[in-house]
């Protein structure tokens, strides 16, 4: 059973607009969440993270929101730029802060259109 | 800057061969990980290590083993490569604050 779900395999957004990528999880033990960006033939790049004690974390154009009651998090990218076109993975870890590995979603392919 | 390097970007091996994938990190991290990425499946954890000579199975350890003789180096071993092990293999190293940083990946093709 998938513990981290990214239900949109792809998302197309116009340049300059907001991109919103969604992620749901089922494991109540998850307490730390991360977003990664991946270009083809490269390793994932860490973008931003959030601990379960917060509901929002911001870093430049990237903001992650966490709704614990709904077991839902989202990544907002504002404004979207052509270089943001990539696959985005949501990841989660349980108590231990990821020392025993991360659980990843299947990814969402974000396409930024000019 | 965290740097994680992997020994090969692309590798082609024959069925039945023994395959070694090497990973090195330069940040003195204790925790290191091996994942594989397949289309439509995301990243799946194969093995991880939290210290020298320590190893733990991840979600899909079958057909793989690992070695951690030195803190900076974590090796993934395919004892007898099979075609279903054709994949992108990604090594990661974990900071004390919980972020994992990945190497560039090794695209392995088993024919």
Instruction: Kindly tell me if the per-residue pLDDT of A97 is higher than 90.
Output: no
Instruction: Kindly tell me if the per-residue pLDDT of A77 is higher than 80.
Output: yes
Residues of A in Cβ contact (< 8 Å) with B50: 99-100
Is A42–B104 a contact, with Cβ atoms under 8 angstroms apart? yes
pLDDT at A96: 64
Q: What mean pLDDT is predicted for residues B90-96?
A: 93
Is B107–A106 a contact, with Cβ atoms under 8 angstroms apart? no
What is the C-alpha to C-alpha distance for residues B84 and B64, in angstroms, rounded to an integer?
Answer: 12
Strands (E), chain B: 4-6, 10-13, 19-25, 32-38, 42-51, 54-57, 64-70, 73-78, 87-94, 100-102, 106-110
Instruction: Kindly tell me if the per-residue pLDDT of B97 is higher than 90.
Output: no
Is B98–A98 a contact, with Cβ atoms under 8 angstroms apart? yes
Nearest to B99 among A49, A99, A106 (CB): A49
The CA–CA distances, whole Å, from B86 to A37, B45, B77, B106, B108 equal 22, 15, 13, 10, 5
B106 vs A96 pLDDT, higher one: B106
Instruction: Kindly tell me if the per-residue pLDDT of A99 is higher than 70.
Output: yes
């Amino acid at each position: 059973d998938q513990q981290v779900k990214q239900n949109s395999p792809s998302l197309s957004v116009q340049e300059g607009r907001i991109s919103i990528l969604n992620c749901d999880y089922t494991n109540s033990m998850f307490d730390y969440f991360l977003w990664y960006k991946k270009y083809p033939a490269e390793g994932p790049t860490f973008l931003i993270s959030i601990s379960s004690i917060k509901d929002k974390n911001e870093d430049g154009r990237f903001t992650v929101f966490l709704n614990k009651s709904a077991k839902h998090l989202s990544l907002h990218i504002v404004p979207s730029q052509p270089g943001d076109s990539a696959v985005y993975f949501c990841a989660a870890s349980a108590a231990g802060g990821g020392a025993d590995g991360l659980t990843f979603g299947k990814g969402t392919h974000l396409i930024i259109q000019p | 800057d965290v740097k994680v390097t992997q020994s090969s970007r692309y590798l082609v091996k024959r069925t039945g061969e023994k395959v070694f994938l090497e990973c090195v990190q330069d940040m003195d991290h204790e925790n290191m990980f091996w994942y594989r990425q397949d289309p439509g499946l995301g990243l799946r954890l194969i093995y991880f290590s939290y210290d020298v000579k320590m190893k733990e199975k991840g979600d899909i350890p079958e057909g793989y083993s690992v070695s951690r003789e030195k803190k900076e180096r974590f090796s993934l071993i395919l004892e007898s490569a099979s075609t279903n092990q054709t994949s992108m293999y990604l090594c990661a190293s974990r900071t004390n604050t919980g972020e994992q940083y990945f190497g560039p990946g090794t695209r392995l093709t088993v024919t």
